[in-house]
Amino acid sequence: MGLQGRPSFIQKPAIRQEEDGSKLLFECKFKSASKPSVTWEHDEVPVNSGGRFKIKLTAEPGGAYYTCMEISEVTLEDAGKYRVTAKNDGGECQASISLNFDSDEAPLPPDGSKPNFTEKPVIRQSEDGTTITFECRLVADPKPTITWYLGDKVVKEDTRHKYGLITDKHTHLASLQIMRVTASDAGVYKLIAKNSKGEGVANISLFFEAGKIIIPPGKAPRFPTKPVIKQVGGGDLLLECLLEANPLPTITWYHGTNVVKGGTRHRITTKEKGKDTYLLTLEVKDPEAPDGGNYRCHAVNDLGESNANIAINFQEEVEEEEEDEEVTPPVLIPRVFKETTVTSGEDT
């Protein structure tokens, strides 16, 4: 869409980190015939500029606008779904982006965190089709209690229904397994997770067609584990990310804001490791101090997109006692930051 009518996105929301991951910037660009109003929401709650949050809107040439929501002193409670809306007299456009943290790296508020769902719920079906499992990922501290609902009715555990809650530090995988599933199990399911800090809600729908369960096709990109940094050969640098996705997404590596392209110093590979699972690697040959900094692996397919972020620091040790003394090569000090999982929404 051009400059007429409602705003239209030039660049959907993306997340960038600064200050060793303690600050996050949600950025996007759009075109608009007139200066629009811009609002941000976190889990459907408006975000106001002030305190840890800063929101800005900047006009650019050609009727373009740049908006950024900055979050400082990031904690686990900042996980969840964010939505940006740009509106003018001709209408509005919206896009969504979800933020997920790695359990080992994400900071936690000193007094704990209410449950926050970090990924879209999924449905899994057994090979024989008789059992389904709903799965929802969330962060919370202290550990939450969970209750599942079908409509407004509580789903109680019995011979057909089984609750699950797997905990790893402050991240949790909540599930509901339904055995001997039939069309009578169709409907909208709701999971409520509660702890002493508050509650979170996630919804997922189960549909049937001609007596068969309809499982949404494909899988949005997701990095299930932290990226890994290795030094191989004569000191070459190898960055590895494990990815789950279907179909195979488009992969782009970034060093800071610059795209990393394959060449004499950079080798990029994608290897299939199993069903819907891939190993993504970026090899940096003969690394030097300027190769340090933030790296990002970006994966996108028709169902969404995801980012894995890695920060690399080099420490140079130089002997100054003699002019001819050899300079010690840079020492790699890797630090893997939290993962951010992104799901792009559509204009509405």
Per-residue pLDDT tens over the stretch 168-224: 888 899 999 999 999 999 999 999 999 999 999 999 999 998 888 888 777 888 888
Residue 316 or residue 12, greater confidence = 12
**Whether the predicted pLDDT of 98 surpasses 80:** no
Q: Is the pLDDT of residue 26 over 90?
A: yes
Q: How are beta strands 250-255 and 212-214 bridged, if at all? A: unpaired
Q: State the pLDDT confidence band at 309, using cuts at 50, 70 and 90.
A: confident
Superfamily grouping for domain 113-216: Immunoglobulins (2.60.40.10)
Q: What is the pLDDT of residue 332?
A: 42
The whole-angstrom separation of Cα 165 and Cα 91 is 43
pLDDT category of residue 73 using cuts at 50, 70 and 90: confident
What are the C-alpha distances in Å from 3 to residues 28, 57, 62, 192, 194? 17, 17, 9, 43, 46
Average pLDDT, the chain: 84
Does residue 278 surpass a pLDDT of 50? yes
| Better-predicted residue by pLDDT, 73 or 1 | 73
Q: How confident is the model at residue 81 (pLDDT cuts 50, 70, 90)?
A: confident
Residues ≥6 apart with Cβ < 8 Å to 119: 98, 100, 136, 137, 222, 341
Burial class (CB in 10 A: 0-12, 13-18, 19+), 310: buried
Task: Choose the weakest-confidence range: 4-13, 33-42, 144-153, 317-326.
Answer: 317-326
pTM exceeds 0.85 for this model: no
284 with 263: CB under 8 angstroms?
Answer: no
Per-residue pLDDT band for 8 (boundaries 50, 70, 90) equals: very high
Q: Which residues pair with 227 in a beta bridge?
A: none
What proportion of the chain, given as a percentage, has pLDDT over 70? 86
Contact of 69 with 55, CB cutoff 8 Å: yes
Ordered by start, the domain boundaries in the chain are 8-99, 113-216, 221-342
pLDDT tens digit sequence for 239-272: 999 999 989 999 999 998 789 999 999 999 999 9
Of all residues in the chain, the percent with pLDDT exceeding 90 is 49
Q: Which of 58, 49, 72 is nearest to 29 (CA)?
A: 58
Please give the average per-residue pLDDT across 85-104, as a whole number: 82
Q: Give the pairing of strands 153-154 and 171-179.
A: unpaired
Domain spanning 8-99 has what CATH number? 2.60.40.10
Give the pLDDT of residue 4: 58
- CATH no. of 221-342: 2.60.40.10
Average pLDDT over residues 118-135: 89
How much is the pLDDT for 302? 77
199 touches 114 (CB < 8 A)? yes
CATH topology match: 8-99 vs 221-342: yes
Tell me if 333 sits within 8 A of 291, measured CB to CB: no
Residue 102 banded pLDDT, cuts 50, 70, 90: low
Highest mean pLDDT: which range of 88-102, 230-244, 298-312, 324-338: 230-244
pLDDT higher than 50, residue 152 = yes
